[in-house]
Structure 1
């Protein structure tokens, strides 16, 4: 992968990843006719996120990048969490390999001290490397889940997906 090299300013590169994902996140909901706060449901086993627009459903293929725990004050990459289905780790392989190739501890350390800011940075970097459509964050009690959105499409009337 030719995304980085020895003279790369990684702080600037990371900021660019966050800015790009923010731009993507402003675009894809409008593109798919989603309101400000659509109802949704995700399924880790199927790696899907279903969002409800006023007249249709939008189905996303997602990758759970990782989770934060308010009580633990840390971000845990999905590839380091045995409770997360393996397909998420597989989708994150490009991120780990990039981290290893460029000696970036943020991308190769299983648990990172911090919270939402650190998790958001990891999420946006993963999104950049996966060429994600956008990102999605959901809070469930003490745990916040950070997803990249790899593909989006409108669901057909009879559960058949159409482009």
Structure 2
């Protein structure tokens, strides 16, 4: 049962902050171990559920992904992947776990399709919600792919390895 719109349990703010800090640490580790953030090119294959990082036409790092959600500068909000009918079903199972966690704990921003950007920092909102998903699903880290209209598509890493 959901509480009123915008209500969250007392522990949630500190939990989300901790999840953000852990995501930053995990992403820093991925940067060190796999040079994430420094590859000249990335491509995602949503059919295969992979995000590939490459240099000079050669794939260097392969990741298995799930989709967290997306931000829209035009709409000024976040849309959870589980609520986006344009995304492949097989990449939404972790996002659905987040929705269940939100429903079980009365956390509106995890259980409702849209989260409005109240602080006027859409990218921070995206990273915070991706961080919540990384925490709930015990993922390795997250990645933001910029989108044309000024938002981003947030992906989480389930697996990562050097390409052979």
Pick from 90, 97, 100: which aligns with 2:93?
Answer: 90
Whole-angstrom distance in 2 between the partners of 1:121 and 1:109: 15
After the TM superposition, which of the residue ranges 58-67 and 34-43 deviates more from structure 2?
34-43
Using the TM superposition, give the Cα deviation of residue 57 of structure 1 relative to its aligned residue in structure 2, in angstroms: 1.1
Superposed CA RMSD: 2.1
Would you say 1:155 and 2:163 are equivalent positions?
yes
Alignment CA distance shift 1:13-1:35 (3 Å) = closer
| Alpha carbons 1:33, 1:53 under 8 Å: kept | no
Residue ranges of structure 1 left out of the alignment (5+ in a row): 1-6, 157-163
Pick from 61, 64, 68: which aligns with 1:61?
Answer: 64
Alignment CA distance shift 1:83-1:37 (3 Å) = same
Residue ranges of structure 2 left out of the alignment (5+ in a row): 1-8
Number of aligned positions between the proteins? 151
Scaled by the length of structure 1, the TM-score of the pair is 0.84
Whole-angstrom distance in 2 between the partners of 1:128 and 1:75: 18
After superposition, give the CA deviation of every residue in 1:49-74 in whole Å (9 maximum; x if it has no partner): 00126886110011111111111111
Using the TM superposition, give the Cα deviation of residue 33 of structure 1 relative to its aligned residue in structure 2, in angstroms: 4.2
Whole-angstrom distance in 1 between the partners of 2:152 and 2:84: 14
Whole-angstrom distance in 2 between the partners of 1:19 and 1:51: 25
- Secondary structure of the structure 2 residue equivalent to 1:71: coil
After superposition, give the CA deviation of every residue in 1:111-158 in whole Å (9 maximum; x if it has no partner): 1111222222110000011111111001121141011111101121xx
Whole-angstrom distance in 1 between the partners of 2:83 and 2:116: 14
Pick from 109, 112, 130: which aligns with 1:109?
Answer: 112
Would you say 1:118 and 2:121 are equivalent positions?
no
Whole-angstrom distance in 1 between the partners of 2:102 and 2:47: 26
- Secondary structure of the structure 1 residue equivalent to 2:74: coil
